[in-house]
Structure 1
Amino acid sequence: MEHRIQALYEQFGGPLLRHVRKTTGNDLQWAEDVVQETMVRAWRHSDRLQWEPGLVWAWLLTVARRIVIDGRRRRSARPREVEPPEADTVPVPDGCDRALSAIVVADALRSLSQEHREVIEQTYLRDRTISEAAEILGIPPGTVKSRLYYGIRALRGLLRDKGVAG
């Protein structure tokens, strides 16, 4: 009996592994497990197998395909297990990051020219439209747009230099 299984593995093990690797997405470890389980099942059912090469090959392919399908079903039905994080490594939001970012942005704003800082304050910080900012600052809307564009560009550069923005 075991001689037949050994001969079966020698004759069909390589081709079966190549075939199963394709069906497992080229996952060698999984494919080897499938081939091993297929051979174990062949050994268990050796008394009922028809030992003609074409029939045995078809039986091996069918069994291997079913093992792969069962594996896919198992993987999709059960979420992947992950180790729970250590309690002291779980981030707890405390507002520090936000406060630190606000300090860095305020510092970068102070580095801008007064004209750029004024339009950014009026439009972004005070939530005013271009027209409203232009009226308050006493400059044309086109000038507000231009200063806003170059001011934001300069602010991004300063923040990038400080390692805050990408």
Structure 2
Amino acid sequence: MSRRGRADEVLVRRIFEEHGAALLAYASRLTGDRVRGETVARQALLAAWRDPTVLDGPARARLFAIVRDLAGAPGVAGASGDAMALLGAMETLEPEHREVLRELYFQGRDVAEAAESLGVPAGQVKARSYHALRRLREVVAG
């Protein structure tokens, strides 16, 4: 796995672990609706994933500013184009790549736990994760 691939994986995991719950709570409060809040929080996390420079400086403050802006943006109440693009991109992945991302990012497992759950070596989890994230970035970027 390349250095960039490892950095992308670490970035996505770190953003979600450190800021996901707080962003969701804040977005839900701003929008007055948990479902709309989830959409806004996903959009903010996706923005940080797409452009890591968003996290330059005080990352938490920048993410909360993005949430605030998105919560006030027209059209946020409906389906998020970015979130929908990401979900659609997930469906283009090979099943084993999709499974790895689900284990790591949706189930919150580390590499060793995902490897055990999937019955594959940790190195294979890392490789699949790298390829899956690279493919997602290509599909979402268009």
Pairwise TM-score range, normalised by the shorter structure = 0.3 to 0.5
Structure number with greater Rg is: 1
Q: Which has the higher contact order (CA 8 A, sep 6+)?
A: 2
TM-score (norm 1): 0.39
**TM-score normalized by structure 2?**
0.45
